């Protein structure tokens, strides 16, 4: 069954969907996006994704109101049309289409695109075996807190990791870890403290990160939001990443060296279970 996608107010067959060649998302990556997981047919952390979307739009002064536009209903309709039970909904809003110019145009209508992707997120095999990462310098721009579509560097680095026979990269600013190619990075120290980089313009303010930190604190776990180095990550008891589609994913190797005993640890395993259990209780229908 071919997918139906949403483009600027209409649900259309994916083969006949189109956006303008002058779209500024296409020409300048002048666009923001969100990825929302669907499990058991419900949306995970929908409200938080919408709030971050509003912030990204405001930072770029793109004129689109997700609530007035009925974004939740658009998500629902797309989910129903594609019978999506588990996977994700990708949403992209660009400034719109205008003749190519480095001066951003005003008063153009934003382009809004949504599509679904089916995926087995809950029973992902990587969660059982853990992922292996290599490191690379973080050469992205310095407004990583805005969820823009300029993902070329991340895509190239992730591809480099796959070519090197591992799963992903962790990016470094000097000797400190910023984040993964499309995830936030965390470690658990030998005395059981969950350490994660504090929010700033250096990293995306991950929705999964925020949820996991909340649930961990509610369980009485110690959480420290501070910068950590590559050496500290390598010396940690455990490491893991978070993202809307990976949830909590253990990292068992960094630059060819095992993290802890090189196996999926109890801490990350527990955090994944906790995140899934809590998320299931809060699904947006
Ligand atoms: N990426 N950091 C970066 C650079 C990301 O691209 C992502 C998510 C995250 C995690 O954020 P969240 O928990 O809100 O998904 C952190 C999405 C999943 C993607 O690009 O597909």
Q: What is the pLDDT of residues 214-260, one digit of tens each?
A: 999 999 999 999 999 999 999 999 999 999 999 999 999 999 999 99
Helices 266-281, 207-218: axis angle to 10 degrees equals 100
- Number of residues assigned to the chain: 285
Range 4-118 classified under CATH 3.30.470.10: yes
What ranges do the domains of the chain cover?
4-118, 125-281
**Mean pLDDT over the full length of the chain:** 98
Beta bridge partners of 224: 195
* pLDDT-derived band at 46, boundaries 50, 70, 90: very high
Q: What confidence score (pLDDT) does residue 169 get? A: 98
Q: Which two tokens stand for residue 30?
A: 């002048």
Tell me how far apart the alpha carbons of residues 282 and 271 are, in angstroms, rounded to a whole number. Answer: 16
Nearest CA among 244, 258, 236 for reference residue 204: 244
Please report the atom of ligand 1 found closest to the CA of residue 52: 14
Q: What confidence score (pLDDT) does residue 9 get? A: 97
* Backbone φ and ψ of 231, nearest 5°: -60, -40
Q: What confidence score (pLDDT) does residue 26 get? A: 98
Of 184, 185, 212, the residue with max ligand 1 atoms within 8 A of its CB, to mutate for a pocket test, comes to 184
Q: What string of DSSP letters covers 150-162?
A: --HHHHHHHHHHH
Instruction: Give me the catalytic one of 147, 158, 234, 269.
Output: 147
Q: Is 269 a catalytic residue?
A: no
Please report the atom of ligand 1 found closest to the CA of residue 210: 13
CB of 145 closer than 8 Å to CB of 203: yes
Q: Is the CB of 207 under 6 A from ligand 1?
A: yes
Q: What is the pLDDT of residues 148-199, one digit of tens each?
A: 999 999 999 999 999 999 999 999 999 999 999 999 999 999 999 999 999 9
Q: Which two tokens stand for residue 226?
A: 């501070």
Nearest CA among 12, 4, 6, 1 for reference residue 74: 6
Q: What is the pLDDT of residues 76-111, one digit of tens each?
A: 999 999 999 999 999 999 999 999 999 999 999 999
**Tokens 């990708």 map to which residue?**
90
User: How wide is the angle at C-alpha 250 spanned by C-alphas 247 and 255, nearest 5°?
Assistant: 130
Nearest CA among 29, 27, 18, 72 for reference residue 50: 72
Q: Which two tokens stand for residue 192?
A: 């059981």
Which of residues 106 and 31 earns the better pLDDT score? 31
Of the chain, the percentage scoring pLDDT greater than 70 comes to: 100
CB of 98 closer than 8 Å to CB of 108: yes
Q: What confidence score (pLDDT) does residue 48 get? A: 98
Q: Is the CB of 243 under 6 A from ligand 1?
A: yes
Averaged over 56-76, what is the pLDDT?
A: 97
Nearest CA among 61, 56, 13 for reference residue 35: 56
Q: What confidence score (pLDDT) does residue 217 get? A: 98
For residue 20, the CA-to-ligand 1 centroid distance in Å is 26
Q: What confidence score (pLDDT) does residue 124 get? A: 97
* pLDDT-derived band at 282, boundaries 50, 70, 90: very high
For residue 33, the CA-to-ligand 1 centroid distance in Å is 10
Please report the atom of ligand 1 found closest to the CA of residue 45: 14
List b or e across 104-113, with b for residues whose CB sees 16 or more CB atoms inside 10 angstroms: eeeebebbbb
CATH of domain 125-281: 3.20.10.10
Q: What confidence score (pLDDT) does residue 55 get? A: 98
For residue 246, the CA-to-ligand 1 centroid distance in Å is 9
Of 47, 183, 185, the residue with max ligand 1 atoms within 8 A of its CB, to mutate for a pocket test, comes to 183
Q: What confidence score (pLDDT) does residue 279 get? A: 98
Q: Is the CB of 199 under 6 A from ligand 1?
A: no
The secondary element (H helix, E strand) that includes residue 168 is strand 168-173
Tell me how far apart the alpha carbons of residues 177 and 155 are, in angstroms, rounded to a whole number. Answer: 18
131-137 and 168-173 beta bridge pairing: parallel
Q: Which two tokens stand for residue 210?
A: 């925020």
For residue 208, the CA-to-ligand 1 centroid distance in Å is 8
Q: Has residue 1 got a pLDDT over 90?
A: no
Q: What confidence score (pLDDT) does residue 154 get? A: 98
Q: Is the CB of 74 under 6 A from ligand 1?
A: no
């Amino acid at each position: 069954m071919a997918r139906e996608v949403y483009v600027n107010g209409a649900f259309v067959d994916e083969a006949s969907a189109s956006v303008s060649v002058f779209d500024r998302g296409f020409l300048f990556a002048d666009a923001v996006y969100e990825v929302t997981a669907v499990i058991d047919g419900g949306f995970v952390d929908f409200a938080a994704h919408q709030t971050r979307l509003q912030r990204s739009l405001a930072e770029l002064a793109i004129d689109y109101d997700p609530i007035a536009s009925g974004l939740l209903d658009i998500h629902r309709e797309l989910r129903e049309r594609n019978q999506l039970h588990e996977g994700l909904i990708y949403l992209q809003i660009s400034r719109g289409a205008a003749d190519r110019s480095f001066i951003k145009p005003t008063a153009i209508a934003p382009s809004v695109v949504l599509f679904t992707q089916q995926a087995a997120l809950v029973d992902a095999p990587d969660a059982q075996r853990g992922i292996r990462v290599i490191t690379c310098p973080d050469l992205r721009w310095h407004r990583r807190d805005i969820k823009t579509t300029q993902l070329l560097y991340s895509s190239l680095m992730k591809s480099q990791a796959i070519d090197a026979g591992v799963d992903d990269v962790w990016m470094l600013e000097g000797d400190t870890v910023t984040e993964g190619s499309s995830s936030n990075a965390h470690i658990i120290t030998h005395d059981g403290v969950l350490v994660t980089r504090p929010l700033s313009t250096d990293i995306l303010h991950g929705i999964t990160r925020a949820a996991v930190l909340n649930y961990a604190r509610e369980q009485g776990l110690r959480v420290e939001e501070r910068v950590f180095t590559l050496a500290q990550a390598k010396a940690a008891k455990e490491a893991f990443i978070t993202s809307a589609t990976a949830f909590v994913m253990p990292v068992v190797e960094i630059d060819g060296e095992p993290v802890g005993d090189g196996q999926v640890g109890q801490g990350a395993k527990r955090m994944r279970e906790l995140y899934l259990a809590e998320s299931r209780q809060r699904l947006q229908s």
